[in-house]
Chain A
Amino acid sequence: MTFSVTAALLAAEGAEKSGHGGIPVIEPATADGVFALMWLVIALPLAGALILLAGGAIAPKALEAWGHLLGTLTAAGSFVISSMMFVALWGRAEDDRSITQHLFTWIEAGRFDVGMDLLYDPLAALFLMLITGVGSLIHVYSIGYMEHDARRRRFFGYLNLFVAAMLMLVLSANYLGLFLGWEGVGLASYLLIGFWQHKPTAAAAAKKAFVINRVGDIGMSVAIMLFFVTFGTTAFAPISAAAEGASSATLNALGLLLLLGACGKSAQVPLQAWLLDAMEGPTPVSALIHAATMVTAGVYLIVRSNFIFERAETAQTMVVIVAVVTLLWGAVIGCAKDDIKKALAGSTMSQIGYMMLGAGLGVAGYAFAIFHLLTHGFFKANMFLGAGSVMHAMDDDVDMRHYGALQKAVPITFLTFAMGYLAIIGFPGFSGFWSKDKIIETAFAENPFVGAAALLGAGVTAFYMTRLMLMTFFTNRRWAPEVHPHESPKVMTVPLMVLAALSVLGGLLLLGDWIVTWLEPVVGVAEHHEPPIAPLVLTLIVTCVVALGVATAWFLVGRQEVPREAPQEVSLATRAARADLYGDAINDRLVVRPGVTSVWALSHMDRVVIDGTVENASLSIAGLGGVVRRLQTGFVRSYALSLLAGVLIVVLALLAVNLR
């Protein structure tokens, strides 16, 4: 790796501004005007988290009474600033939409110089809007949802911490800062999954999420080290300029390592097992972290690192493979789950698979990946919060087999949920229709097989979402007589309505290819290919497949009585899907058992071989000492005798030496 940083920088300067092959180079301007408030976006929720988590000892009563409002206000404040910056960024020239703010020097050690720098560009702007917007709505929802929880203040502290870390993740101008946010959201996720720590399942799920995420984080941290070794920096701007000169092997390695990190955070195969268990956390957490924002960080990472992936063919192919596998994997799991949140979690995995697919398709797909990420953020948050509302109505029961015919009992929840449902299956006109359709279209342009898999996924999605919808709101009434479903309070339904509206209208972002144009400064301009199938025809095909999925669900679920207990006499496929396609079993066989065995062997070897050697050595020396100490009789005359004998030996030796 005899790559010279300066040479690459010089070469990059000579190249065109948009970089080689249409891959943009990040050249941010300094923050001024409203952008000077950029740091506040992170600082507000961070301050809220600090006050809520550390202030309990100073003003416990006040924080119990007002803490949730403080937490909501900081998130809303971040949203206001983000909106102002978004509008300001929109007003700027297209090639001047990258702004950086240097806060302070973070680490300075020899050549290693990392600043606490923020980078605000169209990509970060969209994420800011999503995180702070959906985040604020979920804060508001949580006020109602967590009303009777004794530890509500702490919950809002964790939520604020999560928002701050997530904003750090998307705003950082270098990989190390991104990693700080990356670990921060991991921590917040851990704390929130295990929020009801008195439940052993919740504690175990939190630990599982944390441990599996560490596997991905190894990839991230090694990638950061490799960035430093190769480019001498971890900041996006110089790396994007110098990436062209790096060897293809290095770039592929970087891409694969980043993909490993993305797999961990975004619950992609093979690191997908934690997401379903993560549903042990409170439902707003599932909506915010494990559907709308944090799990999409992997997609963000890949889109942000487009300057690497565009030059790393192998890594990009791997992204596509991982994406397609996960897309189908999650969809299959979603088909079999009776737990409403787990079904939605399977759906989340699947939808993130779509995003990853888009991100893996290169320049043509980045914008659609982000587009789908945004619409998914809206409709999945909507549906998770709707599921939370249903659970609220059903006394925290999550089993869909205990629901049925709820559309009358919880009308607002039903209507908003239906908006999310129509969006996710891709009902024409709704947001999911536009975003998913675009990804399938791009996939077909890239490779027919990938396209076919994505198409199949869309059909399966339609099936399991319809099944969920039918089992929850229609079919026969199955809830227990003592349960009295009731609509949630306004503080919960208003966020649902807002999100439902966004689910319907999210497709507007594609109006006149707005989002594609908007992201062009970040991801580059796609060369226009003539698609193998005309877009209109493809849209028709997708719609037909979706209709087929809906119809299958109707015939299998909607037309007959749904049993209150899950039938045990089921096909092998259903059994596999219920067991998360044996994800846990695979992990157990491949990682946990060998790990346990090797640890046992090592500890056994430590006990027997190493301890045995050491202990036997010490024992034999102790035994020797036990024998030799008998020489210490305490009789001074014996000592004098040995002294004299010693003198005699010395004299005789001297004599022998001299006489020779």
Chain B
Amino acid sequence: MSLTPYIVLSAILFTIGCVGVLTRRNAIVVFMCVELMLNASNLALVTFAKQHGNLDGQIAAFFVMVVAAAEVVVGLAIIMTIFRSRRSASVDDANLLKY
């Protein structure tokens, strides 16, 4: 049984996440797409763990989850703050840092 389809699925999900980050404007949806990319990489890690017959990949996926949780907490707090001051969750509206 080859595990290649898992990797391919992981690649597809990652790409979809990428495109989502680039096209969606709602900051929360952008964050979801980032989560999608993280999850896709997690899938690859778990797949490799099975492929190589050790648990290091699963450990790595576990840490990715922890970091993702931390990132989501802080990121959503930032979105909250921006929304509170600008009444908008669009990433295009927060464009004051420019030329």
Contacts and interface: CB of A to CB of B under 8 A. Distances in A.
A635 B97 CA distance: 9
Q: Interface size bucket, A side?
A: 10 to 19
Interface in B1-34: 18, 21-23, 25
Given A635-B92, A636-B94, A641 B22 contact: yes
Given A637-B22, A640-B22, A632 B98 contact: yes
B98 A634 contact: yes
Secondary structure at the B interface, as helix, strand, loop or mixed, is loop
A644 interface: yes
B95 A634 contact: yes
Contacts of A644: 18, 22
B22 A633 contact: no
Given A637-B22, A641-B22, A629 B92 contact: no
Nearest to A626: B99
A630 interface: yes
A635 B22 CA distance: 11
B91 interface: yes
Nearest to B19: A644
B73 interface: no
A635 B95 CA distance: 5
A641 B96 CA distance: 18
B87 to A, nearest CB: 18
Quick one: which of A632, A637, A644 has the most chain B CB within 10 A?
A637
A575 B48 CA distance: 110
Interface in A626-658: 629-630, 632-637, 640-641, 644
A29 to B, nearest CB: 85
Interface in B44-99: 91-92, 94-99
Interface in A11-30: none
B21 A640 contact: yes
A632 B95 CA distance: 10
Contact of A634 (B18, B22, B25, B97): B97
B96 to A, nearest CB: 6
Contact of B96 (A629, A630, A634, A640): A634
Contacts of A629: 99
Contacts of B23: 637
B60 to A, nearest CB: 20
Nearest to B27: A636
Contacts of B21: 637, 640
Contacts of A630: 99
A633 B99 CA distance: 7
Contact of A637 (B92, B97, B98, B99): B92
Q: Interface size bucket, B side?
A: 10 to 19
B14 to A, nearest CB: 11
A635 B96 CA distance: 9
Contacts of A637: 21-23, 25, 91-92
Contacts of B94: 634, 636
Nearest to A625: B99
Nearest to B98: A634
Contacts of A641: 22
A630 B98 CA distance: 8
Given A640-B21, A644-B22, A632 B92 contact: no
A636 B23 CA distance: 11
Contacts of A635: 91-92, 95
A633 B98 contact: yes
A644 B18 CA distance: 8
A633 B97 CA distance: 8
Contacts of B25: 637
A644 B91 CA distance: 17
A245 to B, nearest CB: 76
Given A637-B22, A644-B22, A632 B99 contact: yes
A310 to B, nearest CB: 80
Nearest to B96: A634
A88 to B, nearest CB: 89
B41 to A, nearest CB: 14
Interface string A391-404: 00000000000000
Contacts of B95: 633-636
B55 to A, nearest CB: 29
A633 B96 CA distance: 9
Nearest to B24: A637
A637 B90 CA distance: 11
A630 B23 CA distance: 21
B34 to A, nearest CB: 10
A280 B98 CA distance: 69
A644 B22 CA distance: 9
A33 to B, nearest CB: 88
A491 B99 CA distance: 83
Interface in A269-293: none
Contacts of B99: 629-630, 632-634
A633 to B, nearest CB: 6
A119 to B, nearest CB: 76
A315 to B, nearest CB: 72
A470 to B, nearest CB: 89
A632 B96 CA distance: 10
A150 to B, nearest CB: 67
Contacts of B98: 632-634
A632 B97 CA distance: 8
A622 to B, nearest CB: 13
A641 B23 CA distance: 9
A75 to B, nearest CB: 76
A420 B38 CA distance: 112
B91 to A, nearest CB: 5
A630 B22 CA distance: 20
A640 B92 CA distance: 12
Nearest to A644: B18
Contacts of A633: 95, 98-99
Nearest to B99: A629
Contacts of B97: 632, 634
Quick one: which of B23, B95, B97 has the most chain A CB within 10 A?
B95
B11 to A, nearest CB: 12
B68 to A, nearest CB: 18
Given A641-B22, A644-B18, A644-B22, A636 B96 contact: no
Closest 9 interchain pairs by CB? A634-B98, A634-B95, A629-B99, A632-B99, A632-B98, A636-B91, A635-B95, A634-B97, A641-B22
Interface of A: 629-630, 632-637, 640-641, 644
25 contacts: A629-B99, A630-B99, A632-B97, A632-B98, A633-B95, A633-B98, A633-B99, A634-B95, A634-B96, A634-B97, A634-B98, A634-B99, A635-B91, A635-B92, A635-B95, A636-B95, A637-B21, A637-B23, A637-B25, A637-B92, A640-B21, A640-B22, A641-B22, A644-B18, A644-B22
Given A635-B91, A637-B23, A644-B22, 6 more contacts: A632-B98, A633-B98, A634-B97, A635-B92, A636-B95, A637-B92
